[in-house]
Amino acid sequence: MLSRTIAANQLKNSLRASKQIRNLSIHEYRSAELLRQYGVGTPAGEAAFEPQQAYDIAKKLGHDALVVKAQALTGGRGKGHFDTGLKSGVHMIESAEQARDLAKQMLKHRLITKQSGAKGKPVSAVYVVERVNAKHEAYLSILMDRQSKKAMIICSSEGGMNIEEVAAKNPDAIKKFTVTESEGLTAETAKQISKSLGFSAEAEADAADAVTKLYKIFKEKDASQIEINPLSEVEGQDTKVMCMDAKFGFDDNASFRQEEVYSWRDLSQEDADEVVAKKSDLNFVKLQGNIGCLVNGAGLAMATMDVIKLYGGDPANFLDCGGGATPETIETAFKLILSNEKVDGIFVNIFGGIVRCDFVAQGLVSATKNLAVSVPIVARLQGTNLEEGRRIIEESGLKIYSFDELDPAAQKVVELTR
């Protein structure tokens, strides 16, 4: 059972790190566009993809006080640093020349933050915005609460910093409000929220208005998460409340009706292998070990990882090829597994209920030939068209260790990769 817990935790962490599952993240400048569409206050600004464009935007904004913000899908950019040594992904600047110079230093480089992983994220654009004076910084997020199955609005009078930090140091500053589907966000709740942000009394009406519109975006755009940090009380603007930063996530299940939002997907921010996997309907997550696994069904994938661990091995990945696997998807799966040079052996564990053993065998054989696989392969096939699958493997003349039972198969692959 211990191994199960380890495998489960490892998988959970990887799924979280990969962020590929069921959720689309968009860049801050795209989120700002949505905010503007709904009439929510956010500083004026535009994204630049070339240094000169950053200069032009800065000139167009017509202010000296500006902020240049690296567009990479990660949080904590302000406190991050670049692979070049440059500090911070959020810079306060005073001229268009500085905007151009910073864009040159940020674009195409990688931004490393507490949340990005050691490799960091590539900077796809820089967002050049007017610098707005903030009197007070608060925090607001809207998400689906799994327990109550309702939307939840979380707010705090202490914004601009990591919400986990606030939760640890000053939990009383955090307030939670649930919103029922039938009622929606009532004027009364919006008012209560606006009062818990720590703003001055004059800003409360604008805050309630902003929260109401944010909830409207959440509903209409099938968002899974909206996080505004900071939500600031500002001076010298048409509105007294502005979103200075916005992180939006969207539910993949609704992608079919959110064309605009999904057209904003930035593949450069995602793990290349995971993008390939998703295209073939493979559920692929990299892990730390050296045994590549090809399995069908998430449950069997977990069990396979456990059994490998039980015999002292360490899985290199989690790969669920699902029920619809064809010889082509199996070959893609092999490519993905082998793109990791740590892999010393491959364990194929297929229970052919919907997926057919002969398809798996065909994919296995053609992948082994086409990709000149040099590491040992252990295959345990069971189920539909098993005999046909076995025959294909035997006739191929390839050295594939075939097993009927899981335990001896796992033992074999661990032995071969030790």
**Residue closer to ligand GDP, measured from CB, 65 or 272:** 65
**Residue closer to Mn ion, measured from CB, 160 or 376:** 160
Q: Is 227 a catalytic site residue?
A: yes
Of positions 4, 76, 281, 302, contacts ligand GDP by CB under 6 A: 76
DSSP state of 114: T
As given in the structure block, the two tokens for residue 168 are 């640890």
Write the DSSP string, 128-159.
Answer: EEE---EEEEEEEEEEEETTTTEEEEEEES--
| Distance separating alpha carbons of residues 177 and 180, to the nearest angstrom | 10
Evaluate whether 412 touches 401 at the Cβ level (below 8 Å): yes
**Residue closer to ligand GDP, measured from CB, 56 or 130:** 130
Catalytic residue chosen out of the listed positions 55, 127, 139, 401: 139
As given in the structure block, the two tokens for residue 159 are 């914004």
Closest CA to 334 of 385, 295, 298: 295
Backbone torsions φ then ψ of 280, nearest 5 degrees: -95, 15
| Distance separating alpha carbons of residues 408 and 187, to the nearest angstrom | 64
**Residue closer to ligand GDP, measured from CB, 237 or 255:** 237
As given in the structure block, the two tokens for residue 287 are 């892990």
Of positions 41, 75, 313, 315, contacts ligand GDP by CB under 6 A: 75
Residue 84 Cβ vs ligand GDP, minimum distance, rounded to whole Å: 18
Residue 81 Cβ vs Mn ion, minimum distance, rounded to whole Å: 16
Residue 246 Cβ vs ligand GDP, minimum distance, rounded to whole Å: 8
Please identify, among the stretches 76-84, 182-190, 290-298, 380-388, the one whose residues bind ligand GDP according to the rule CB under 6 A: 76-84
Residue 228 Cβ vs Mn ion, minimum distance, rounded to whole Å: 8
Residues 84-113: x where in contact with ligand GDP by CB under 6 A, - otherwise, as a string: ------x-----------------------
Residue 108 Cβ vs ligand GDP, minimum distance, rounded to whole Å: 19
Closest CA to 68 of 131, 128, 132, 134: 128
Q: Is 29 a catalytic site residue?
A: no
Write the DSSP string, 81-102.
Answer: EETTS-B-SEEEESSHHHHHHH
Site for ligand GDP in 275-314 (CB under 6 A): none
Tell me the H-state helices in 294-326. 298-310
Write the DSSP string, 203-264.
Answer: GHHHHHHHHHHHHHHHHHTTEEEEEEEEEEEESSSSSSEEES-EEEEEEGGGGGG-HHHHTT
Catalytic residue chosen out of the listed positions 28, 227, 233, 274: 227
Residues making up the binding site: 69, 76-78, 137, 229, 245, 296, 353-355
Residue 198 contacts ligand GDP per CB under 6 A: no
As given in the structure block, the two tokens for residue 350 are 């297929």
Please identify, among the stretches 8-16, 124-132, 286-294, 357-365, the one whose residues bind ligand GDP according to the rule CB under 6 A: 124-132
Closest CA to 73 of 117, 139, 33: 117
- Selection from ligand GDP, Mn ion, none that 306 binds (CB < 5 to 8 A by kind) is none
Of positions 120, 230, 315, 327, contacts ligand GDP by CB under 6 A: 230
Give the three-state DSSP class for 105: helix
Residue nearest to Mn ion (CB): 245
Q: Quick count: other Cβ atoms within 10 Å of Cβ 50? A: 14
Residues 218-247: x where in contact with Mn ion by CB under 5 A, - otherwise, as a string: -----------x---------------x--
Of positions 41, 43, 315, 345, contacts ligand GDP by CB under 6 A: 43
**Residue closer to ligand GDP, measured from CB, 90 or 310:** 90
Residues that bind ligand GDP (CB under 6 A): 43, 67, 69, 75-78, 90, 129, 131-134, 137, 160, 229-230, 244-245
Residues with a known catalytic role: 139, 227
